[in-house]
Amino acid sequence: MSADPETPLRADAQRNRDQIIAAARVIFASHGPEVPMEEIARAAGVGVGTLYRRFPDRDALIRAVAVDNFAGVLDNARRLSVEAPTAWEALVQLLYHGAELQLSMQLSMLSQRAHDILKDDPDVAHLREAVLLEVEGLVDRAQAEGTLRKDVGAGDVAVLFARLIRQLPAHRLKSPEIATARNIAIMIDGLRAGPATTLPGRPIHKEDLL
């Protein structure tokens, strides 16, 4: 009996979609969501027509990348919450290895275009709230452990990460990955419990970002 002739087409379509999202994720993280669609198609190794068949416009692609990233962040945060020896270690690992978290925070907070597209999307809203809830849980537990300073909230952590960890253009530095790792280390030291400069205002909580 011959195989269903549509099966390879469905597999190809899924593979193309995955390649497009993966390429868009990298490009959005380094250059923002306004990069020409042709450049994204080229990076994904597909034709522009294929890209537009999967995603009819830029807004649809931004939504797909955001949903994919928030889902990845949520899975990672939940795993670290269970597997890491302490809440502080879970938070540190999430920040150090959270490429998806980096892009999700950029799309939801730093890019006005993306923010306008995503703010009323129910799937994105649900995932964003779930991610911030996980971060809030880690923040609360780390503060209870005495490892995280008491005058910050989950929103502070999210905003700080979004603003500091945007990938540096490769042509500016010989080792952008090292520069990024150094920025994360400096940020993490600023979050540690202990003597510190008094922060102005009140902590930023997850509710402030929803």
User: How far is 210 from 205, CA to CA, in rounded Å?
Assistant: 10
- Residue 186, both tokens: 């400096």
Dihedral sign, Cα of residue 16, residue 22, residue 25, residue 27: negative
Task: Mark which of 56, 71, 88 sits at the end of a domain.
Answer: 56
Question: What's the pLDDT at 96?
Answer: 79
Average pLDDT of each block of 10 consecutive residues along the chain (210 residues)? 48 89 85 89 95 94 89 90 96 77 60 78 89 93 95 88 58 61 82 81 82
19 and 121 in a single domain? The answer is no
73 and 127 in a single domain? The answer is yes
> What is the CATH number for 142?
1.10.357.10
Write the single-letter amino acid at 172.
Answer: R
51 and 115 in a single domain? The answer is no
CB-CB contact of 16 with 46 (8 Å): yes
40 and 69 in a single domain? The answer is no
Question: What's the pLDDT at 54?
Answer: 93
Give the chain's domain count: 2
Write the single-letter amino acid at 29.
Answer: A
Domain of 39, in residue numbers: 1-56
Question: What's the pLDDT at 181?
Answer: 74
User: How far is 24 from 57, CA to CA, in rounded Å?
Assistant: 13
Question: What's the pLDDT at 46?
Answer: 95
Tell me 148's DSSP state. B
Tell whether pTM > 0.85. Answer: no
65 and 142 in a single domain? The answer is yes
Task: Mark which of 31, 56, 81 sits at the end of a domain.
Answer: 56
Question: What's the pLDDT at 102?
Answer: 63
